[in-house]
Amino acid sequence: MQQLSLEKFEEASEIVKKVTQETKLIYSEYFSERYGNKIYFKPENMQRTGAYKVRGAYYKISQLTPEERSRGLITASAGNHAQGVAYAAKLAGVKATVVMPVSTPLIKVNRTKSYGAEVVLYGNVFDEACAHAYELADEHGYTFVHPFNDLEVATGQGSIAMEIIKELPTVDYILVPVGGGGLCTGVSTLAKLLNPKIKVIAVEPAGAACLKASLEAGEVTTVSKINTIADGTAVQTPGDKLFPYLQANVDHVITVDDSELTLSFLDMAENHKMIVENSGLLTVAALKHLDFKGKKVVSVLSGGNMDVLTMATVVQNGLMQRDRIFTVSVMLPDKPGQLAAVSSLIAKEQGNVIKLEHNVFANVNRTAGVELTITLESFGTEHKDQIIKALEAAGYCPVITKTNGIYM
């Protein structure tokens, strides 16, 4: 464990400055008041290529020999490391090939191509794409650049901790998203070297909690199934080269559910006007799980590369979770004026109708009633309950129904 030295971290921090842009800490008054800590964000979603990955990729390439560069590079990635390697390789004048899972968001695929890399889509998860990348490396003689299980890559990622501590020397906690562990290894190791009192909390999606499983087992462990919207951290096995550092330097692991990420997306968009991808939102979602108050906390927002379709889905689900959009059905007599009566009642309660479905075939005997399904906006749970009570008071017997594709 002597390879990750302070000297190397200092060297990496100077080298990555050549290709990164400054991402100064952002103090969040909204989250600080909400959770009782002084919350700062490290906005790597605003970094070049849209994520922190360019740091590790560029430092790794800077350490390669001319012979290793001449063979061309290959890597596997769910998107952000792909762009980091492609961008860094372009600056270094080196050919790059990237293997990405077929489920990778289109924006990440296209941006990787835009930096001049050849993209190969293979496998359903990162681990399958990575295995294929190794096969291509053997076949063509490429130099493999691992997205996380590489100490030089992790050293480059550690430059984030250097910047955080220089800007906020009295930081108490740093929250770091975890997939394979490269970012967390670099940040936690350097943080402990600079100030052992700093606590580092790793945050994983509950549907891909390979680090938590490994720490509990005391050895590198593979989780059998991946199920998370946080595609950038959908990794089954943490890096074996990194695990000793994670064991030594990570103070705690928090796991968050996908539903928490959708709500965090809304919070960041509405209160900070920032787009943060699902993996980058892990540390935002973790803030409510902290069991302390009055501390200085830095949440690393690892990336912001989210395609518009994913964004729309996340927004829809977040609004529904907060009861700001809901669907209700009522039975009406099949006679003129009933639709207008319901609409007037909802308008009086300040609900905003998005969509109506009028089903005259709900009963064989239409005179017994037709079904009206209404999707509408409210200000939240209290307002939703107010609308439901008003419908009940008018004798409509409203039934809340599950909503899918509400804008379709």
- Measured between alpha carbons, how far is 230 from 358 in angstroms, rounded to an integer? 38
- Measured between alpha carbons, how far is 172 from 309 in angstroms, rounded to an integer? 37
Active-site residue, 355 included: no
Catalytic one among 199, 302, 378, 384?
302
Cα 151 to Cα 21, 282, 328, distances in angstroms: 23, 23, 54
In DSSP terms, 199 is beta-bridged to: 173
Q: Which residue has the tokens 């291509």?
A: 136
Go through the chain and tell me how many residues it has.
Answer: 408
Active-site residue, 38 included: no
- Secondary structure of the chain in HEC code, one letter for each residue: CCCCCHHHHHHHHHHHCCCCCCCCCEEEHHHHHHHCCEEEEEEHHHCHHHECHHHHHHHHHHCCCHHHHHCCEEEECCCHHHHHHHHHHHHHCCCEEEEECCCCCHHHHHHHHHCCCEEEECCCCHHHHHHHHHHHHHHHCCEECCCCCCHHHHHHHCHHHHHHHHHCCCCCEEEEECCCCHHHHHHHHHHHHHCCCCEEEEEEEHHHCHHHHHHHHCCCCCCCCCCCCCHHHCCCCCCCCCHHHHHHHCCEEEEECHHHHHHHHHHHHHHHCCCCCCCCCHHHHHHHHCCCCCCEEEEEECECCCCHHHHHHHHHHHHHHCCCEEEEEEEECCCCCHHHHHHHHHHHCCCEEEEEEEECCCCCCHHHCEEEEEEEECCCHHHHHHHHHHHHHCCCCCEEECCCCCCC
- Measured between alpha carbons, how far is 44 from 25 in angstroms, rounded to an integer? 10
Nearest-5° Cα angle at 307, 304 to 312:
105
The closest of 85, 145, 151, 149 to 118, measured between CA atoms, is 85
Q: Name the token pair of 30.
A: 């909204």
Catalytic one among 8, 53, 212, 384?
53
Which residues are known catalytic residues? 53, 302
